[in-house]
Amino acid sequence: MKSKITITEIADKCGVSVSTVSRVLNNSPSVSPKKRALIQQIIDEYNYTPSVFARGMVNHKTKNIGVILPDITNPYFASLFLQIESFALKNMYATILFNTMFARNPDKYDTPLSEEDYFKIILEKQVDGVLILGGQIDKDDVPENFIHALNQLHKSVPVVIVGSRIDGCECLFVERNSRQGVTSIVNHFIALGHERIGFVGGEPGIRITSSRIEAFKQTMKAYHHDVNDSYIVTSDYYAPDGYSAMNQLLDQNSGKLPTAIIAINDMVALGAIRAMKDRGLDCPSDIAIASCDQFPHSDYSIPRLTSMDLHNEYLGRMAVMQLISAINGSEEAISINHMPELIIRESCGATRR
Amino acid sequence: MKSKITITEIADKCGVSVSTVSRVLNNSPSVSPKKRALIQQIIDEYNYTPSVFARGMVNHKTKNIGVILPDITNPYFASLFLQIESFALKNMYATILFNTMFARNPDKYDTPLSEEDYFKIILEKQVDGVLILGGQIDKDDVPENFIHALNQLHKSVPVVIVGSRIDGCECLFVERNSRQGVTSIVNHFIALGHERIGFVGGEPGIRITSSRIEAFKQTMKAYHHDVNDSYIVTSDYYAPDGYSAMNQLLDQNSGKLPTAIIAINDMVALGAIRAMKDRGLDCPSDIAIASCDQFPHSDYSIPRLTSMDLHNEYLGRMAVMQLISAINGSEEAISINHMPELIIRESCGATRR
DNA sequence: TTGTAGGCGTTATCAG
DNA sequence: CTGATAACGCCTACAA
């Protein structure tokens, strides 16, 4: 609406050349203090800001980064994003957010876009870098053409992926050991005297799901405990999924129910507990539950949830740092090693007298 | 990293002038089908996309919109944002998201920025329009200088605010009747036979809080029921706030407790129920609870939450529509009138036999 | 320390 | 229908 003032006009008003103004803008040292002060004053007075377009034309930078994630509604991604945005802003980058979930729920959100489509859009936006959280890269078997698209994207702009490294993908990765958490929970349950332990939630064919289930089985084996396959029911990552998974588990094990259940995250745990309740089963006295990934407010549910604090905020921070340093030309990988923490509350039954 | 191909090179390869290429890019009709086809083919082959910078230089558009909200972690804003992004993308706009909550929690997120600072940043980003959800504009008394900043911003780019209209503010508003919901709940409670009704949550001095409490009082008065001031405890919008508010309410009314409580939203309701539980009180048998604003998964808590579905998604959609049409020059206000819906579940006690 | 001038990739205007 | 050419606002040699 209002046409912005330009560097030329500033220069005129100050009686200097545009280059001098440009110099104070990019605080180049070679400007006399006197002129610098004057120019700065005029700049402030007219509230002048250089055009991103003109700037971009010469240095090809937008100071924007693209963030692609499945669903900002999911607390996991939301808290990650919060950190990302905070840190990015501190470094003068703004974040353009893309929710690919539209691709998954075409009925609810009628934007039939694949993640690859997003790559294209994001590329056109001329962002300085891209952060990818979850989605296709989390699949056990990442489609060949998706990896190709990723590499393609990475050729034009640095791409940082939060997730486990993939063979053949040249992007940068920020990864974390996703198994420790499960192990802690199994240890805890076994220490509590449980032997029949189950697992609910998580989309099958997705890495976090697979690796957690595997870690679960391995740890159980280390204790020489059986892992009954019917005690493991996958579904997805939300409350309704925990509900259905738990119901299925209960259905197929009416004989000997597990005494403890590991849920893939807090929402699933909540759904599972609700399913139990609807069948007259109490948590934790009938079946104890603990979740592998803590979300906000797990301290206010009934019962309070025992879960792993994975320090997700920290992960988000690392990811932007990695991206920004890549934008600035550094290729060195940042390794992240943060210990997950078991937060014992009510649902695991450890606190019942 | 990889330098992009330019319109000139495309023109060269096709043996035409840049203008012709530009024409097919902006599908101007006056291009011979033959040339158009050829050019398009080369464009596809080289995967050419025009530079946003060069484009911006001439038409001053980024096809980006800025969205400012307090906290994307809050389900209310998250679901709103989802719709906003979806609809924006459908219209070829990308969304730059800014969480001002950093401004509120300087200890947790050490970015000491005021909302005004965000205005400045967002302006420098040269977005085509700005959407503001919540924050300072929601205060009962919006600071004069904030309104000024808003108007200032609106002078350079269209600003749409989701919230109640403010005197002296020239921005566009998308507003909604926030009282209807409360009225429905009071009606429901009274129909259920309740007379001593309370209210918990919501930050004092914030419009939605004030208007809901006022609507609550008015409706009660219409039924000739007393509204005991000690039955109303404000705090904030999250679970911990519901918890503390409820505790306070319980403390100051040990004599005659209310039999029903209205919570400002689902998270607060959850916190309140948790507080009751910790004191051996059951919801709904001891005190019934209903919430004014439904969040996802309220169907999976214990007890299931009775709450108002405010159709927030719809609100988000309206907001972008308004913004986009403003960007395109239309100033006409879109009025929105969507009936909130009372979803009766367990916490209100209506379903107990 | 300061100024001049060329170029960045498009679009729009104006001739042909 | 097509092609020159002048902006657009800034940065960066290069010159002074």
Q: Distance (Å) from CA A59 to C1' C1? A: 25
Q: Give the alpha-carbon dihedral of B41, B42, B43, B47, to 10 degrees.
A: 110
Q: How many residues does chain B have?
A: 353
**Region B79-107: what's the mean pLDDT?**
85
Name the H helices within chain A.
7-14, 18-25, 33-46, 52-59, 75-90, 101-104, 115-124, 144-156, 180-191, 207-222, 239-252, 266-278, 312-327
| Cα A20 from Cα A23, distance rounded (Å) | 5
Instruction: Say which CATH architecture domain A180-309 belongs to.
Output: 3-Layer(aba) Sandwich (3.40)
The distance from CA A78 to its chain's CA centroid, rounded to whole angstroms, is 7
Pair A129, A159: CB distance under 8 Å:
yes
Q: Distance (Å) from CA B10 to C1' D4? A: 17
Pair B52, A126: CB distance under 8 Å:
yes
Which of B89, B128, B295 has the most A C-beta neighbours within 10 Å, making it the best mutation to test the interface with A?
B89
pLDDT at position A110 over 90? no
Sheet strands side by side (includes A197-200): A232-233, A197-200, A260-263, A288-291, A306-309, A341-343
> Nearest CB to A52: which of B94, B125, B297?
B125
Delimit the CATH 1.10.260.40 region(s) of chain A: 7-50
Q: Which pLDDT belongs to residue B63?
A: 95
**Residue A320, token pair as written in the block:** 């932007």
Contact B94 A158 (CB under 8 A): no
Q: What percent of chain B has pLDDT over 90?
A: 79
Which of A7, A63, A71, A73 has the most B C-beta neighbours within 10 Å, making it the best mutation to test the interface with B?
A73
pLDDT at position B8 over 90? yes
| Cα B31 from Cα B281, distance rounded (Å) | 77
DSSP string, A110-139: -----HHHHHHHHHHTT-SEEEEESSGGGB
The number of beta carbons lying within 10 Å of the beta carbon of residue A85 is 27
Q: Which residues of A touch B170 (CB under 8 A)?
A: none
Q: What percent of chain A has pLDDT over 70?
A: 95
**Residue B23, token pair as written in the block:** 């024409």
Q: Which residues of B touch A109 (CB under 8 A)?
A: 82, 86
Element spanning B189, H or E: helix B180-191
Q: What is the mean pLDDT of chain A?
A: 91
**Which of 1.10.472.10, 3.40.50.970, 3.20.20.140, 1.10.260.40 is the CATH number of B7-50?**
1.10.260.40
Most confident of B89-93, B108-112, B309-313: B89-93
Which chain D positions come under 7 Å from a protein C-beta? 1-5, 7-13
Q: Distance (Å) from CA B61 to C1' C2? A: 34
Higher pLDDT, B21 or B108: B21
Task: Say which DSSP state A256 is in.
Answer: S
pLDDT at position A333 over 80? no
Q: Which residues of A touch B63 (CB under 8 A)?
A: 125
Q: Which pLDDT belongs to residue B106?
A: 47
Q: Which pLDDT belongs to residue B110?
A: 56
> Nearest CB to A72: which of B56, B60, B82?
B82
> Nearest CB to B302: which of A56, A157, A274?
A274
Any strand C atom closer than 7 Å to A27 CB: no
Amino acid at the residue B39:
I
Bridge partners for B174 per DSSP: B162
Contact A300 B52 (CB under 8 A): no
| Cα A141 from Cα A330, distance rounded (Å) | 29
**Residue A166, token pair as written in the block:** 């993939």
Contact B274 A301 (CB under 8 A): yes
pLDDT at position A97 over 70? yes
Exposed/middle/buried for residue B39 (C-beta within 10 Å: 0-12, 13-18, 19+): buried
pLDDT at position A153 over 50? yes
| Cα B190 from Cα B193, distance rounded (Å) | 5
At B189-234, the pLDDT tens digits run 999 999 999 999 999 999 999 999 999 999 999 999 989 899 999 9
Task: Say which DSSP state B2 is in.
Answer: P
Q: Which pLDDT belongs to residue A352?
A: 55
Nearest CA distance, B123 vs chain A (angstrom): 9
pLDDT tier for residue A9 given thresholds of 50, 70 and 90: very high
> Nearest CB to B97: which of A95, A156, A157?
A95
Nearest CA distance, B17 vs chain A (angstrom): 21
Delimit the CATH 3.40.50.2300 region(s) of chain A: 64-176+312-337, 180-309
Q: Which nucleotide lies nearest residue B26, CA to C1'?
A: C11
**CATH 3.40.50.2300 is the classification of domain B64-176+312-337:** yes
Q: Write phi, then psi, for A68 (nearest 5 degrees).
A: -110, 120
